[in-house]
Amino acid sequence: MQDVPPICRSEFLRSLAGASGRAQEEGSHLGLLLIDITNLAQINHYHGYQTGDLVLKSTYDQLLSISKLPDSIYRMGDHRFAFILPELGNPAFIALAINKVSRVLEQALYVDSHLVSADVKVGVAVNREGKHDELSMLALAELSLALVKRGGGHRMQDFLGEQKDSDVTDHQLEQRFAQALQDNEFELYFQPKVNLRSGHVGSAEALLRWLPENSDPVSPEVVVGLADDAGKAYELTKWVVHSALRQAKPWCQGPDGGIALNLQASLVSNPDLPVLIKDALVIWGVEAERLTIEITESAIIEDKESGFNNLLKLKEMGINLSIDDFGTGYSSLSYFKHIPAAELKIDRSFVAKMLEDPQDLELVKIMITIAHQFSLKVVAEGVEDLETLRALMILDCDYAQGYYFSRPLPRQEFEAWVEQWPGLPEL
């Protein structure tokens, strides 16, 4: 058995109260990170509790080695840790701490010859000049963690200890979202998917865009999180499916033509999903074989029973399933046997560094080999330069997407881009 750090909330609160008191006396800045290993349940499920325990122990040890201060690291829940950072020279320095913690903790561990990696989300609060008490600081960090888990990143306010305002902004955003859905303010952009064997571009991935009037674009991950929270995930998906099929119909009739859509976890097991998609295919006259649905590994695992049933139904209809962001979640091999997928997309974090980091290159090679063994096509995402493209072609990767070819574009621009596409470079 591994020696798992015990959960000690009261010690943590005492320590945070002590640090807050000192910050108040000295007028110094105090930081707090809440670190959540969001995939611990999956690790336990796929690799056993011993492996899960090992991940917890290693997380704790790594946090201790980052902090180097006594009374600063506590396990606060099954898969949650707290990291107290006293005497921050500048509140914004906490951004560096978040970066370091995520980088260190997300390094994969080898356990009994499988690779296990923790999916880490970090919530943050800064107590500027000791102005908050420990409980409100904890509440701010919890709020920040909830926002991050929902797909939003850290915002500058988080680092500067002004989360109270951002809470309001978030509420406003939710209201604007509901209105935007009603007013049809969303758009789909299309990113070409290049066939590395034929050099042909027949298909594209549709990516959601919300460009609210008079304010900054909102990232699709945040939009999807807002839809989930507002109970509007089904409505948003319906809009995406119809809008994508309507726009992609012309190129879905061409050779190698197709359209790929993203589907979030909350929709995978929705019993109405197969009918929604079937109706949309009929309405827009697109053959099921032309449609690919991209789902992340963790979304598939989240709700196994009903999720699998739905996926099987989609497959029986002739739709292709693609495992998105592959490598970032639970890459247990046994899982290919169960998932009726046709395609695997290597997460762009591996592709981006494959020429610099030999370990990433090795992982990309392994993913391509395994996928082919299971008769899956492989797509590399996030190809940004010619050298990476060449390496992927040599490794026998089937498709590629990325800024090297094109950013996601509105439909007309996408079609114009395809018209002028000169074909792949010589190897």
Burial class of residue 139 in the structure, from the number of CB atoms within 10 Å of its CB (0-12 exposed, 13-18 middle, 19+ buried): middle
Read off φ and ψ for residue 317, nearest 5 degrees: -70, -15
Give me the 156-195 binding string for ligand C2E, x by CB under 6 A, dash otherwise: -----------------------------------x----
* Closest to 325 (Cα-Cα) out of 198, 221, 237, 195: 221
Contact 259, 243 (CB under 8 A): no
Partner whose binding site includes residue 147, from ligand C2E, Ca ion, none (CB under 5 to 8 Å by kind): none
- Measured from the CB atom, the residue of 37 and 244 that comes closer to ligand C2E is 244
Element housing 126 (H / E): strand 120-127
Q: How far is the CB of 110 from ligand C2E (least distance, A)?
A: 26
Sites for ligand C2E among residues 397-416 (CB under 6 A): 401-403, 408
* Closest to 127 (Cα-Cα) out of 114, 116, 115, 141: 141
- Report the distance separating Cα 124 and Cα 34, nearest Å: 6
CA dihedral over 162, 168, 169, 171, signed as positive or negative: positive
Give me the 238-267 binding string for ligand C2E, x by CB under 6 A, dash otherwise: --x---------------------xxx---
- Asked if residue 322 binds ligand C2E (CB under 6 A), the reply is no
Partner whose binding site includes residue 402, from Ca ion, ligand C2E, none (CB under 5 to 8 Å by kind): ligand C2E
Q: How far is the CB of 245 from ligand C2E (least distance, A)?
A: 13
What is the token pair recorded at 412?
């007309």
Partner whose binding site includes residue 377, from ligand C2E, Ca ion, none (CB under 5 to 8 Å by kind): none
When binding is defined by CB under 6 A, the residue of 82, 120, 224, 248 that contacts ligand C2E is: 224
Burial class of residue 334 in the structure, from the number of CB atoms within 10 Å of its CB (0-12 exposed, 13-18 middle, 19+ buried): exposed
- Report the distance separating Cα 419 and Cα 406, nearest Å: 13
What is the token pair recorded at 77?
């829940």
- Measured from the CB atom, the residue of 383 and 397 that comes closer to ligand C2E is 383
- Asked if residue 384 binds ligand C2E (CB under 6 A), the reply is yes
- Measured from the CB atom, the residue of 74 and 190 that comes closer to Ca ion is 190
Q: Tell me the one-letter amino acid at 223.
A: V
Applying CB under 6 A, which part among 47-55, 133-141, 376-384, 389-397 lies near ligand C2E?
376-384
Q: How far is the CB of 36 from Ca ion (least distance, A)?
A: 22
The secondary structure of 165-188, three-state, reads HHHHHHHHHHHHHHHHHHHCCEEE
- Asked if residue 220 binds ligand C2E (CB under 6 A), the reply is yes
Partner whose binding site includes residue 303, from Ca ion, ligand C2E, none (CB under 5 to 8 Å by kind): none
Give me the 369-388 binding string for Ca ion, x by CB under 5 A, dash otherwise: ------------x-------
Applying CB under 6 A, which part among 88-96, 251-259, 395-403, 412-420 lies near ligand C2E?
395-403
Partner whose binding site includes residue 97, from ligand C2E, Ca ion, none (CB under 5 to 8 Å by kind): none
Residue 423 CA neighbour count, 13 Å, CB half: 5
- Asked if residue 325 binds ligand C2E (CB under 6 A), the reply is yes
Sites for Ca ion among residues 226-265 (CB under 5 A): 262
When binding is defined by CB under 5 A, the residue of 158, 324, 343, 398 that contacts Ca ion is: 324
Q: CA dihedral defined by 411, 414, 415, 416, rounded to 10 degrees? A: 120
Contact 327, 382 (CB under 8 A): no
Question: What are the residues whose beta carbons fall under 8 Å from the beta carbon of 141, sequence distance 6 or more?
Answer: 32, 33, 34, 123, 124, 125
- Measured from the CB atom, the residue of 30 and 248 that comes closer to Ca ion is 248
Q: Tell me the one-letter amino acid at 238.
A: K
* Rounded alpha-carbon distances, angstroms, from residue 113 to 47, 51, 110, 369: 11, 12, 6, 17
Give me the 269-298 binding string for ligand C2E, x by CB under 6 A, dash otherwise: -------------------------x----
Give me the 281-300 binding string for Ca ion, x by CB under 5 A, dash otherwise: -------------x------
Chain residues that interact with ligand C2E, rule: CB under 6 A: 191, 207-208, 219-221, 224, 240, 262-264, 294, 324-325, 348, 381-384, 401-403, 408
Which residues here bind Ca ion, judged by CB under 5 A?
262, 294, 324-325, 381
